A and B are shown apart, each in its own frame.
Chain A
Amino acid sequence: MKRALILFSLLLVFALILGACGGGNTNNEPAAANNASSSSADTSSAADTSTDEAMPEAKTETVVIGFTTSQTGSQNVSSVRQVNGLMQWMNAVNDAGGIELSDGTKVTFEAVTYDDESNTDRVQELYTRLATEDEADFLISPYSSGLTAASAVIAEQYGKVMITTGAASDDTYKQGLTTVFQAYTPASRYLTGAVDLLESLDPSVKKLAFVYENSKFSTDVVEAAKSYAESKGYEIVLFEGYDPETTDFGPFINKIQDSGPDAILGGGHFQDGSTFARQLNEKNIDVKFFTLLVAPPEPDFADLGDAAVGVIGPSQWEPLAAFTPESAQEAGLEWFGITSDEFVSAYEANYEGEEPSYHSAGGYVAGLILQKAILDADSIDPDKVKAALEAMDLLTFYGHIKFDTTAEAHGLQIGHSMVYIQWQDGDAGLAKQVVWPIEGATADTLYPMP
């Protein structure tokens, strides 16, 4: 018994040491989110005190924004980036003293967030908590389509306006929702641009292989892309999913090779996508064109080295994609918010040099959309904000934003579209280049891929 106790206290010490080490290492990502949220609390309280002094002339409203973060579990990385982006927006607005409405009211923001552990069990409980206990005025979605679908039920029940980001599936918006608005380009338009790109590069290519992770998001994407490709007269020589847990793509790649495609389109999420790309490279498969979902736009994809060269990926946003006030004028759209350069430098300054991915931009733009809607509505009344969102049609650093307002697909994003990047080995080493759409391209496509 005594020995057991000694051993046990040893364990505790050990756990504490490990915990301390862990705490030391976290600085890269999750801690950044914490810093952000704590600094947001600071700034909002600072804003409160400043309003006490300024009370006579203007009143201040603090708007609570609720969302969950996947602090743990498989979606941890993307989710934390998304929240970092959102917090950057919030801090910027609060630091500037909030949004000013026409009656002189200043609107500042406060964030409330919980860990959803990347799984749906508690999402509804946490969103109910946000909507009721924490009295969130507006909601932002969790990361991933599955969690978002569960949280949308709650948003709809309480009539809370929710901006979804990091959630691309079309399905959610076709179920009769009325208060949920999507910032991402929906899954059905994720890969169609890649087909256009291929067509413009090499009209002689006819054989495509679609290989994809057998999960909700990627299946949605490739099925839409497949029918698009077929309508363009492509021959689909292979259309096959792989299990999300797959680590060995060897047999799968042999099968691809056997079916002899000119181009491969598909993928799933980061982990399987980067594994797939690495093994495809190691096996020296001879394809001219290779597009993967999700993984290539991530800065970490560069870790693959040579295996990354030539890989193309759809992205919701890229630092290089130049949407500017001028391009807004040309397109006859209203411009709102900061430019991409401003976003990138502020983000890197806030998060210890971490390069923003499109998840970060998605988080930021979710806040930006809300800000614009409040400005347009000149109110924080949910119904007026909702009406402003329905009428929204603008260009931001993230691209065009416009929502479907029909009853069948209310809230679906119809303005924004994907950009396509390719990893190229240039003078400055391995880097992402935008290759499609042509108007935004920063380099010619490396074709056929090496």
Chain B
Amino acid sequence: MDFLLASVIDGLLLGFVYGIAAMGLTLIWGVMNVINLAHGPIIALGMFSLYFIFSLLGLNPYLALILVAVLGLLLGILIYFVAVHRVIDAPHLSTLLATFSVNMIIIGLGTAAFTASPRNVEFSLGSFTVGSITLLGTRLVAAVLALAVTGGLYLFLYRTRPGRYIRAVANNRDAAELMGVPSAQILALSFGLGTMLAAISGGLIATFFPFTILAGGVYELKSFVIGVLGGLGNPVGALFGGLILGVLEGIIPTFMPTTWVPVLEFGLFVLILLVRPQGLFGARK
């Protein structure tokens, strides 16, 4: 029984970080109806930025995370103006392909620069043992930071002027423009926030798992699943979606072979899309 409990806790802690990654994806979707296929490589860039800042500058990983976040934000704004802005009103296919080409560019340059060899951030906060359950320091901190980031995002969206603009644009862009909201800048900011969240999640993941330039792909797929679980366009839903996925990943191996986890995960994903496309927590539009 202990082992079930241990797995649930492991899953929950990781779920927070998954949640942050998905939140980035779902924020972009909610504001501008764009599925960002460059999400995975941006997560990987977050990992690499943290790795280099940590190993070259010797900065504490959690301080480095601030830098990673800023870089993520700027990269997102750049990507928005270069690749997305021109096709923002075009059919879905255009934005999908535009973001996918950004994916190819990042992976292509990344492989040439870093090779596909694995990196490991050698950093540990030790572990705490409670009864028969061992908790890792890095994961606890990551979960706390994930919560803090969620809170910060919430405050930003609901308590600041740009945040209100973002919500206005998400609600109805035409109306917002009529009210004098500078929609291009707001869209770019939203995209930047989305990639910032992706980069932060990458940075957090890098503190406990080894990774390669291709490692983002898995988290991109997980973000899709989580985004749908929590309702696309619903950032808080994404956090809960992340927790649900984390717990599922913890519980499923206790009663069936671990290799069935992705079958169930993606099965559930398709099922939710069919039955409740607005997500478990979304209201019907």
A and B touch in the complex (CB under 8 A): yes
Q: Does A38 contact B (CB under 8 A)?
A: no
Q: Known contacts A11-B82, A29-B117, A271-B118: does B257 contact A247 (CB below 8 Å)?
A: no
Q: Which of A1-24 contact B (CB under 8 A)?
A: 4, 7-8, 10-11, 14-15, 18-19, 21-23
B209 contact set on A, CB distance < 8 A: 247-248, 275, 278
Contact A15 B105 (CB under 8 A): yes
A298 CB → nearest B CB, Å: 9
Contact B115 A76 (CB under 8 A): yes
Q: Known contacts A25-B114, A30-B115, A271-B118: does B14 contact A74 (CB below 8 Å)?
A: no
Q: Does A243 contact B (CB under 8 A)?
A: yes
Query: Once the chains are docked, how many angstroms separate the CA of A77 from the CA of B120?
Result: 15
- Among B89-97, B233-241, B258-266, B273-281, the stretch in contact with A: B258-266
Task: Give chain A's interface secondary structure class.
Answer: helix
A19 contact set on B, CB distance < 8 A: 109, 112
A356 CB → nearest B CB, Å: 15
Contact B116 A242 (CB under 8 A): no
Query: Once the chains are docked, how many angstroms separate the CA of A60 from the CA of B205?
Result: 57
Query: Once the chains are docked, how many angstroms separate the CA of A11 from the CA of B78?
Result: 8
Contact A76 B116 (CB under 8 A): yes
Q: Does B71 contact A (CB under 8 A)?
A: no
Specify the chain A residue showing the minimal Cβ separation from B260.
A243
Q: Does A442 contact B (CB under 8 A)?
A: no
Q: Does B151 contact A (CB under 8 A)?
A: no
Q: Known contacts A72-B108, A248-B10, A251-B254: does B210 contact A7 (CB below 8 Å)?
A: no
Q: Known contacts A7-B82, A243-B261: does B7 contact A77 (CB below 8 Å)?
A: no
Q: Known contacts A76-B111, A282-B127: does B210 contact A275 (CB below 8 Å)?
A: yes
Binary interface profile of B, 1-40, with partner A (CB < 8 Å = 1, else 0)?
0010011001100100000000000000000000000000
A95 contact set on B, CB distance < 8 A: none
Binary interface profile of A, 64-77, with partner B (CB < 8 Å = 1, else 0)?
00000000111111
Q: Does A39 contact B (CB under 8 A)?
A: no
Q: Which of A51-82 contact B (CB under 8 A)?
A: 72-77, 80
Q: Does A300 contact B (CB under 8 A)?
A: yes
Q: Which of B186-241 contact A (CB under 8 A)?
A: 205, 209-210, 212, 214-215, 218
Q: Does A351 contact B (CB under 8 A)?
A: no
A73 contact set on B, CB distance < 8 A: 111, 116, 214
Contact B115 A214 (CB under 8 A): no
Q: Which of A230-255 contact B (CB under 8 A)?
A: 240-243, 245-248, 250-252, 254-255
Partner of A283, one of B11, B122, B134: B134
Contact B82 A74 (CB under 8 A): no
A15 CB → nearest B CB, Å: 7
Q: Known contacts A19-B109, A240-B257: does B10 contact A251 (CB below 8 Å)?
A: yes
Q: Does A45 contact B (CB under 8 A)?
A: no
A252 contact set on B, CB distance < 8 A: 253, 258
B205 contact set on A, CB distance < 8 A: 247
Q: Known contacts A7-B81, A250-B10, A284-B134: does B112 contact A243 (CB below 8 Å)?
A: no
A240 contact set on B, CB distance < 8 A: 257-259
Q: Which of A304-326 contact B (CB under 8 A)?
A: 304-305
Query: Once the chains are docked, how many angstroms separate the CA of A23 from the CA of B114?
Result: 10
A214 contact set on B, CB distance < 8 A: 259
Binary interface profile of B, 117-138, with partner A (CB < 8 Å = 1, else 0)?
1111010100101000010100
Q: Does A270 contact B (CB under 8 A)?
A: yes
A175 CB → nearest B CB, Å: 26
Q: Does A257 contact B (CB under 8 A)?
A: yes
A102 contact set on B, CB distance < 8 A: none
Q: Does B250 contact A (CB under 8 A)?
A: yes
Partner of B82, one of A10, A72, A245, A304: A10
Query: Once the chains are docked, how many angstroms separate the CA of A21 from the CA of B52?
Result: 14
- Interface on B for A, CB 8 Å cutoff? 3, 6-7, 10-11, 14, 78, 81-83, 85-86, 105, 108-120, 122, 124, 127, 129, 134, 136, 205, 209-210, 212, 214-215, 218, 249-254, 257-259, 261-262
Q: Could you name 15 residue pairs across A and B whose Cβ atoms are closer than 8 Å? A: A14-B78, A15-B105, A26-B113, A73-B111, A76-B116, A240-B259, A241-B257, A245-B218, A246-B258, A247-B215, A250-B6, A252-B253, A254-B253, A274-B118, A282-B136
